Amino acid sequence: MGHITFECIVHILAQNPIFMPTGHCSQCPVRYQLACFLMHYGARGCDATGTAHKMGIGEGTVFLYC
């Protein structure tokens, strides 16, 4: 996926209320969540542990973002 396409998808998703923070805790930026999703489901053989390691997040966070 190209950079422009990625940014367009981020812009579209950012409008969705599910990405709007509702409590005291802020969410990770949409671009980071989308990158995690694409890495987890787009890379062949990349399990949650591998995605977590590459992104520097916890394995449970991978499932939360996806």
3-state secondary structure of 48: helix
pLDDT of residue 12: 95
Per-residue model confidence as pLDDT tens for the chain (66 residues): 899 999 999 999 999 988 887 778 788 899 999 999 998 888 766 788 888 999 999 999 998 888
3-state secondary structure of 28: coil
pLDDT of residue 24: 83
pLDDT of residue 45: 62
